[in-house]
Amino acid sequence: MERRLFRILDAGTDAKRDYLLAILSGVLLALSFPTPGLSLLAWFALVPLLLAVSGKSPKKAFRLGFAAGVVAYGGIFYWLNIVMIQYGKLPWFLSFPVFLLMVAYLALYLAVLAWLVRKGEERGIPLLLAFPVLWVALEYVRSWFLTGFPWADLGHTLYRTLPLIQIADITGVYGLSALIALANAVIYRIIRGLTSQERIFPTRGALLLLGLLAGTLVYGFYRLNEPRGTDTIRIALVQGNIDQSIKWDPSFQEATVSIYERLSREACSKGADLVVWPESAVPFYFQTGGSDASRITGLAGELKSCMVFGSPAYDMVEGKVKYLNSAFLLSPAGTLLGRSDKVHLVPFGEYVPLGKLLFFVNKMVEGIGEFSPGEKIAPLDTGKGEIGVLVCFEGIFPEIARKYVQAGSRMLVNITNDAWFGRSSAPYQHLSITVFRAVENRVPLVRAANTGITSIIDSKGHIQGSTPLFREAVLTGEVVLGRGGTFYNRFGDVFAWACLAASIVIVGLSFRKRNGRVG
């Protein structure tokens, strides 16, 4: 039996077996993310891929890694077709190639990882060192390359495992990605030890993994048991559930305002310091005034609460109109206290990259003109404390949240319109990522979403309340304000930079022959 198992797992010429193992890794990895969010799978999801590439040439490892990546990211990001077909109005024969192109791009990262790991092993670089370091480095590169897309990082699978994710206030999500990647490498080496004739086990690697897990848990429980602050703010989050097909219809503006008026009165029946509406909840230019704008300012006065809501805005710059995706803050008296503009826009959603060259490309989503990015990070002062507003997918970028907290924000507010995703996994994935913004900076994060998921997340990452998808809803709660000042907030991605630097060394060593010449 043992010899048979050895023959199955050992490096060989059975290409079908290798690709089946790679595909299995892709499936397990996809299932690790919401939904279904089987986070336990992440700890060994990559083991089949490591078994498949064992003993293979770097070129074959590249192909196997690419296959695993296509399956994984195809499963995680299937909802891109909903955005392009249902809302972007692209026919399937155009949307599907675009989807495959996006998946292929993401799969390249896993392919390059497998290639570099095998290249390093050929030069004697231990897998237990190279695999987690290279994984983090490539995740970090993906977070900023080509405007960045830090979605579905390996560490995001642990967003509900509170004792482990507390380490994010030091390492960011990348520390958790490294821990999971190391676990996969150790499990792989244990399996190889059980099935090889040499019986070589990764004793030091296993002890290192156990030590890191224990240390992370001890730190996590310490952070979870820390006393909370005393400064609080009462929040009322409003989920209007406005159908995307009529959201920008001028004839529906009055009805939209009426829905938010009714829900806001319901939410504030017991009082609230701050009422939050979602991104583009006001589907017209609030700053131009008019009867609908007056109703909103009057509502703030009636409720005697500050109000934050999303609305398109515009500025005149050198005689040209500049359109912005913005959040406005009203005082309890209905006066305008400030505006915060979205600084990181969605490519092909809010603007077309290389617009002059790609003049034939239409944006995937509806809106008013082509947006421009805001020029600065602008916290808004509620009188109870300053808040940083993350508009839509700005919540997936840790550096934006860091800057808001560094500028004095004691709470992060994510206003979003996840209606584009339909009834898919994407709203749950989006929520899981924003949990880390709260932990990294030790400030609460509240999010108001047009169709859900609206939620309250405390500074320790606990989701204290959430709403169902595609229903009118209100969510209220008392939130303890944070003060930031974490290592991660002050110094950023030091851990990721260290992994990137180490990866450069690993790559350099991997491409040198043993006699010192470049290979």
Reduced to 3 states (helix: H, G, I; strand: E, B; else coil), residue 99 is helix
Residue 337 and residue 411 in one domain: yes
**Do the domain assignments include residue 486?**
no
The number of angstroms, rounded, from the C-alpha of 454 to the middle of its chain's C-alpha atoms is 16
Q: What is the pLDDT of residue 303?
A: 96
Residue 360 pLDDT exceeds 70: no
How confident is residue 323, by pLDDT bands cut at 50, 70 and 90? very high
Residue 192 and residue 276 in one domain: no
Query: Sign of dihedral through CA atoms 279, 282, 285, 287?
Result: negative
CA dist., res. 413 & res. 276, Å (int): 8
**Do the domain assignments include residue 488?**
no
Ordered DSSP codes for 278-297: -TT-S-S-GGG--HHHHHHH
The domain that holds 460 is classified in CATH as: 3.60.110.10
Residue 12 pLDDT exceeds 50: no
Is pLDDT larger for residue 514 or for residue 372?
Answer: 372
**Mean of the pLDDT values across residues 88-109?**
91
Residue 181 and residue 242 in one domain: no
CA dist., res. 240 & res. 247, Å (int): 11
Q: What is the pLDDT of residue 11?
A: 43
Q: What is the pTM of this model?
A: 0.93
The residue from 119, 121, 139, 392 that is catalytic is 392
Kindly give, in sequence order, each residue whose CB lies less than 8 Å from that of residue 112, ignoring residues fewer than 6 positions away.
62, 65, 138
Which CA distances in Å does 43 have to 112, 143, 186? 21, 22, 10
Which CA distances in Å does 11 have to 55, 124, 266? 6, 18, 64
How confident is residue 325, by pLDDT bands cut at 50, 70 and 90? very high
| Owning domain of residue 249 | 232-481
How confident is residue 361, by pLDDT bands cut at 50, 70 and 90? low
Residue 117 pLDDT exceeds 70: yes
Report DSSP state, residue 252: G
Residue 508 pLDDT exceeds 80: yes
The residue from 121, 139, 279, 440 that is catalytic is 279
**Are 175 and 475 within 8 A, CB to CB?**
no
Q: What is the pLDDT of residue 3?
A: 52
Residue 195 pLDDT exceeds 50: yes
Residue 116 and residue 237 in one domain: no
CA dist., res. 458 & res. 442, Å (int): 8
Residue 13 pLDDT exceeds 60: no
Residue 305 and residue 365 in one domain: yes
Share of the chain above pLDDT 70, in %: 92
**Mean of the pLDDT values across residues 345-354?**
73
Residue 457 and residue 502 in one domain: no
Q: What is the pLDDT of residue 248?
A: 84
Residue 220 and residue 243 in one domain: no
Element (H, E) at 310: strand 306-317
**Are 426 and 79 within 8 A, CB to CB?**
yes
Which CA distances in Å does 119 have to 54, 112, 506, 513? 11, 10, 10, 11
Q: What is the pLDDT of residue 354?
A: 55
Element (H, E) at 238: strand 232-239
CA dist., res. 414 & res. 389, Å (int): 6
Q: What is the pLDDT of residue 126?
A: 95
**Mean of the pLDDT values across residues 75-81?**
96
- In the numeric block, the tokens 């292929």 are attached to 104
Summarised one tens digit per residue, pLDDT across range 466-490 is 999 999 999 999 999 999 999 999 9
User: Helices 494-510 and 127-144 meet at what angle, rounded to 10?
Assistant: 120
Report DSSP state, residue 274: E
Q: What is the pLDDT of residue 150?
A: 97
**Mean of the pLDDT values across residues 143-164?**
97
Is pLDDT larger for residue 108 or for residue 202?
Answer: 108
Is pLDDT larger for residue 257 or for residue 365?
Answer: 257
How confident is residue 88, by pLDDT bands cut at 50, 70 and 90? confident
**Do the domain assignments include residue 196?**
yes
Share of the chain above pLDDT 90, in %: 81
**Mean of the pLDDT values across residues 26-48?**
97
Which range (17-21, 224-228, 352-356, 412-416) has the least confidence? 352-356
**Do the domain assignments include residue 519?**
no
Residue 355 pLDDT exceeds 70: no
How confident is residue 369, by pLDDT bands cut at 50, 70 and 90? low
Per the structure, how many domains does the chain have? 2
279 is catalytic: yes
CA dist., res. 254 & res. 261, Å (int): 11
Compute φ and ψ for 314, nearest 5 degrees: -150, 150
**Are 305 and 268 within 8 A, CB to CB?**
yes
Q: What is the pLDDT of residue 15?
A: 86
**Do the domain assignments include residue 518?**
no
Report DSSP state, residue 112: H
Residue 213 pLDDT exceeds 50: yes
Summarised one tens digit per residue, pLDDT across range 255-298 is 999 999 999 999 999 899 999 999 999 999 999 999 999 999 99
**Mean of the pLDDT values across residues 373-397?**
96
Which range (135-149, 165-179, 249-263, 344-358) has the least confidence? 344-358
Residue 10 pLDDT exceeds 70: no
Using DSSP bridges, classify how beta strands 473-480 and 455-457 pair: parallel, antiparallel or unpaired. unpaired
Reduced to 3 states (helix: H, G, I; strand: E, B; else coil), residue 273 is coil
**Do the domain assignments include residue 252?**
yes
Q: What is the pLDDT of residue 86?
A: 84
Residue 221 and residue 266 in one domain: no
Residue 86 and residue 118 in one domain: yes
Residue 90 and residue 119 in one domain: yes
Residue 190 and residue 322 in one domain: no
Q: What is the pLDDT of residue 200?
A: 80
**Mean of the pLDDT values across residues 329-338?**
97
Residue 501 and residue 470 in one domain: no
The residue from 119, 322, 342, 460 that is catalytic is 342
Residue 6 pLDDT exceeds 60: no
Question: What integer best gives the mean pLDDT of the chain?
Answer: 92
How confident is residue 519, by pLDDT bands cut at 50, 70 and 90? very low
Nearest to 150 by CA among 388, 346, 398, 351: 398
392 is catalytic: yes
